[in-house]
Amino acid sequence: MYDVVLLTLGSERDAAGGGCGGGDACCGGAAEGAGEESPERCETPRVPVLACADALTARGARVVTVTARSDAEIDEVLARLDAPPRADGLTWPDPDSKTRLVIATASDGQLRAVLRRLVRRYAPPPSRRPDDLPGDRTVPDLPPVGVLPLDPARSGPARDLAGQLGLPRDPAAVAAAVLDGTARRLDLLRNDGGSVTLDGALLGAADDAGRPLHWRARVEVDGTTLSDGDEPIMACAIGNAGGYARLADVTLLADPDPADGRVEVAVAVPVVARSTWGRKRVRLEVRRARGRAVAVVPRDDKVPFLDDGVEAELNRKRSWWIEPGAWAVWSG
């Protein structure tokens, strides 16, 4: 039978009734370049966690519940997934491990925080790249994780990643998926800021009235230029899944697929056109491309963006690239 670790995220400041403590273990896991803590609280509902633990125990699993309040405490949990020492000295996940991990998540940012630590643990330095690492990857197959959403079922455009993937939300169903389900492998976006993206990123902002603000950046996907940096941009979506597929009534990402080995990118640009009568009219042009990598070079000082729901600001070049099938979830 399996040993199951049920992991929730918290912070030292939680104990005093404060907000998030920042870092990867924070609710949102502050994105690189953000420079501020996420305002989201790390209050973890206990009922779903205890219900899932009871369901796992009833099936004979040995269950440990852990609340990690720092990156180091997350790393202590992830160490249980390590394979025996390799001859090359690299830390590697054990594909035959009898330990399974369930992450209780109040947000996609929490799930991302744990996956980010997994990548940091198992990604080998470029100078020590082993021969058994796939040629299109910088990380090995990361251990599958169970996802236990801590909020009620979401629907519509506000769906979290678990909802998009059709993962179970009921604690007993999550337990069954972890013990009896299959590992569904998914793509992972890494970036040169040292973080990862599971769902996607949305670049841009709006004023107090909700009107999009214009900004400028050079956006390239595998050498294809979507914006040269001289024209105004209303929004840019970088999608692995479909969380940022739409902005208000505008479709940005046409058909995002978290397992197709490609990142989909869309740039929304206002274009001035003239009618038959010579009147000027502004329409929104959405340019799309798919590929292995995307680079965004901002021309303005700071471009606000959301990455898996975590707020940040882009003030220098940022590149995202796809890692096909790098991570996995237990699905029923």
Backbone angles phi, psi at 263, to 5 degrees: -100, 135
**Is residue 292 one of the residues assigned to a domain?**
yes
pLDDT on residue 43: 46
**Is residue 235 one of the residues assigned to a domain?**
yes
**Is residue 95 one of the residues assigned to a domain?**
yes
pLDDT on residue 158: 57
* CA-angle at 61, arms to 55 and 62, nearest 5°: 115
pLDDT on residue 301: 81
Q: Are residues 108 and 39 in the same domain?
A: yes
Structure tokens at 82: 């390590």
Compute the 3-state secondary structure of the chain and give helix, strand, coil in percent, each to the nearest 5: 20, 35, 45
Q: Are residues 102 and 228 in the same domain?
A: no
**Is residue 194 one of the residues assigned to a domain?**
no
pLDDT on residue 152: 66
Q: Are residues 164 and 16 in the same domain?
A: yes
Q: Give the C-alpha separation, 173 to 170, whole Å.
A: 5
**Domain housing 161:** 3-187+327-331
pLDDT on residue 207: 79
DSSP string computed for 84-111: SPPTT----B-TT-SEEEEEEESSHHHH
Q: Are residues 150 and 29 in the same domain?
A: yes
Structure tokens at 207: 């004023």
Q: Are residues 63 and 177 in the same domain?
A: yes
Q: Give the C-alpha separation, 162 to 196, whole Å.
A: 17
In sequence order, the 6+-apart residues with CB closer than 8 A to the CB of 156 are: none
* CATH assignment of the domain containing 75: 3.40.50.10330
Q: Are residues 122 and 168 in the same domain?
A: yes
Q: Are residues 178 and 209 in the same domain?
A: no
**Is residue 318 one of the residues assigned to a domain?**
no
Q: Give the C-alpha separation, 29 to 108, whole Å.
A: 10
The identity of residue 171, as a single letter, is P
Q: Are residues 183 and 204 in the same domain?
A: no
pLDDT on residue 209: 76
What's the total number of domains in the chain? 2
Per-residue pLDDT of the chain (332 residues; tens, 9 = 90+): 899 999 999 864 332 223 333 344 444 444 343 333 333 344 445 899 999 999 999 999 999 999 999 999 999 999 999 999 999 999 999 999 999 999 999 999 999 999 999 999 999 999 999 999 999 999 999 999 999 999 866 655 558 999 999 999 999 999 999 999 999 999 999 999 999 999 999 999 887 777 788 999 999 999 999 999 999 999 999 999 999 999 888 899 998 999 999 999 999 999 877 666 667 777 889 999 999 999 999 998 889 999 999 999 999 999 999 999 999 999 98
